[in-house]
Chain A
Amino acid sequence: MTVDGRAKRRRRQSYAANAAAAALLLFATLFAIVPILWAVLTSLKSPREVALYPPTFFPHDLTFENYFGAVFNNGTYLHYLLNTAIIVLVATCLCLLCASHAAHAVARYRFWGSNVLMFAMFSTIMIPGVAVVIPLYMLSVEAGIYDTVLVLILVYGAWLTPTLVWLLRGFVIVIPNELEEAGRIDGYSRLGVFYRITLPLMKPGLVAGAVLIFANIWNEFLLGYSLVQSETARVVQVGIYANLTEVGVQWGRLTAAAVTAMVPVLVVYAFLQKAFVQGLSAGAVKG
């Protein structure tokens, strides 16, 4: 085969590979977006149109009645949103506070049993939520905090801290040890070094971690459903489930509530997207 022929063949292979990659990406994008698009369009249809067979893709008569009924005129739903916002904010702060200290400790200090401790902590990441629901329920009952906002804050905080420690550990490791040593020579205590030197350098990781924790807690259903009953402490994802009513699933209202619940996560992600991606990739360099 001539040089030209080989080059043409290589170019053809490259085109084919690019086309295959593009097709795969397109499929993956559609796979992720179509259900969300379907939910948005369903939320804009009247109850009668939602039940039509064959179904319509775009709403014939655009209506916002589902949003008014399920969200804006529904004080209970707005209360669930507020509960979730409080839980997410406090639990995220709690996670960041504990995880940043713990990540620094596991990255910098070696002490007797530290490996076992790290293994024990990181192994909890692998335990599925469903396996701990009953023990958590019993524990919360015993502690007298069942059916409160506090139980969710504590449980989410404890549940996600190891993941965050694992993530932040990567950031601490890439910070040169010499910086901390210089701080110690300047007279800072260990904690002083951590607060004045290490923590500010961990900022991208903290932002990435905060977004990750925020999205995880905001979208969580199982624990929110299992540890809280009353409307006073109910979270938004469980509130959406209430659209499964005695007259069947109220698809229009349910999708309106679900679409609204997506907004805070999208907004947070949109604002912090750059920092989030930077943070994740920065932490991924070493670990």
Chain B
Amino acid sequence: MRRILLAAMLCLLPVLAHAEKSLELWTFIDPAGDSPRSKALAQIISAFEQQNPDVKIKPTIFAWNQINLAFMKAAQAGKVPDVTMLNSGRIQRVVAANFLKPLDDYLDKTGQRSDYILMPNAIGADKKIYGVPYEVRALGFLYRSDLVEKTGMGKPRNLTELVASAKKMQELQGPTFVGVGIGFDPKQDSAEKFYIPAVVALGGKLLKPDGSADFVSPQAIRVMNYIHDLVQKDKVMPLDVGLTGPDQVRTLDEAGRVGYYFQGSHWLLTLRGKIPQGAKMDFMPVPLLDSDGVQPVFVEGWNLGIPAAAKEPDLAWKLVSYWTSPDVQIMQAKVAGYLPMRKSAAAKVDPNAPDTAHIKPLLEVIGSNAMNFKWPLNTDALQESLGVAITNVMADKQKPEEALREAEKSYNSMRAY
């Protein structure tokens, strides 16, 4: 009997040795989808599984604007995945709650820490790194370069020229064409991304050292007036477009009906494939308001975090490490249009190929002129209070100063939550 048992155990040994490990990944991108980003993720998962035949990645998909909250709830309950995507504008809350594992030891082991572009919000109060972006993106204008050529005015060097260029495009394209498309819906993740860099570029501040609002300043009023004039005076942006969110403006852009669309650089390749035939699209950072030049660029990126209670943290890092390796970053840039988050990747891409030509100049801008803004704990409060102020000013419901004073009150009452 004992022999039989021993033989059975010996037979089972190889099976046990090859038992599949499962790595749960929380993502807002469905690897089974047909978007370029889905295809890039599917490629990464498939290649990783091939390299690690005993590992199976199990993706769980969430809506992009819900994944941070879902993770917070799950972490509180101790039911966490092995790796999760986290929005860079909101990761600070997860970090402060101690739900993530510091990645410093892993990063140090790679010996290439300085090659990573990291997000300030993923760095905790203890100066440790709690998330590594798997992509970076610069925010700016995706513009119709074919129409810029048609207007004969050249690429705008400041925001005043941008309005003139948008007006000219509207004249050429007809009444349904939208010169400038910026979605300021307070409930969506957008208003603050145009507004904050514009104020910072003029030398203004948003928050006091104690974290409370410092919204009312000559610079802020200047930017508010500019946004107001886009709608009410220059009429390059219809009010209903300004009141919607970036996703809604994108549907107009896909139809070739927007001249300058404010969005992240990661949309460039996707939109190039969607705009009408003959139309051309390029990306430019937001120019300065008062003089020629470029504003500090708003940089963001989705992070990969390993939960503090992850079951397989080392294996999880293996996936993160593979995902953020320069070669995979270049593949991602080509397939999905992201910017690589490894500085060394810029040197490896073809600067003349249409799918990679934008990478090097944008990484240079990010390297030299990124906006250094550390988000407060409650990003939603900042986004909503500023968004409400902007939309009220746009719709001529309030004067800029009055709207900003109200936004200050609103933000100060919400920021602690």
Contacts and interface: CB of A to CB of B under 8 A. Distances in A.
B60 A247 contact: no
A20 interface: no
Interface in A205-232: 226, 229-231
A51 B247 contact: no
A244 interface: yes
B207 interface: no
Nearest to B28: A246
Contacts of A147: 74, 77, 79
Interface in B237-269: 247, 250-252, 254-255, 257
Contacts of A246: 28-29, 35, 37, 64
B73 interface: yes
Given A51-B254, A229-B73, A229-B79, A242 B247 contact: no
A286 to B, nearest CB: 45
Contacts of A51: 251, 254-255
B375 interface: no
B197 to A, nearest CB: 23
A242 B79 contact: no
Nearest to A50: B251
A242 B37 contact: no
Interface size class for chain A?
20 to 34
A242 B73 contact: no
Contact of B61 (A140, A242, A247, A249): A242
Contact of A244 (B33, B63, B76, B79): B63
Given A246-B37, A247-B35, A137 B79 contact: no
A175 B275 CA distance: 69
Interface in B379-398: none
A5 B123 CA distance: 87
Interface string A237-259: 00001101111110000000000
A119 interface: no
Nearest to A73: B32
Q: Pick from A137, A242, A244, A247 the residue with the most CB of B within 10 Å.
A: A247
A247 B70 CA distance: 20
B355 interface: no
Contacts of A248: 247, 250-251
B255 A242 contact: no
Contacts of B234: none
Given A52-B255, A229-B70, A241-B63, 18 more contacts: A51-B251, A53-B251, A76-B61, A137-B73, A147-B77, A147-B79, A229-B73, A229-B74, A229-B79, A231-B61, A242-B61, A244-B65, A245-B29, A245-B30, A246-B29, A246-B37, A247-B270, A248-B247
Interface of B: 28-30, 33, 35, 37, 60-66, 70, 73-74, 76-79, 247, 250-252, 254-255, 257, 270
Interface of A: 51-53, 76, 137, 140-141, 146-147, 226, 229-231, 241-242, 244-249
Q: Which 4 A-B pairs have the closest CB atoms?
A: A146-B77, A141-B77, A244-B63, A247-B35
17 contacts: A51-B255, A53-B252, A76-B61, A141-B76, A147-B74, A147-B77, A147-B79, A229-B60, A230-B60, A230-B79, A242-B30, A245-B33, A246-B35, A246-B37, A247-B35, A247-B270, A248-B251
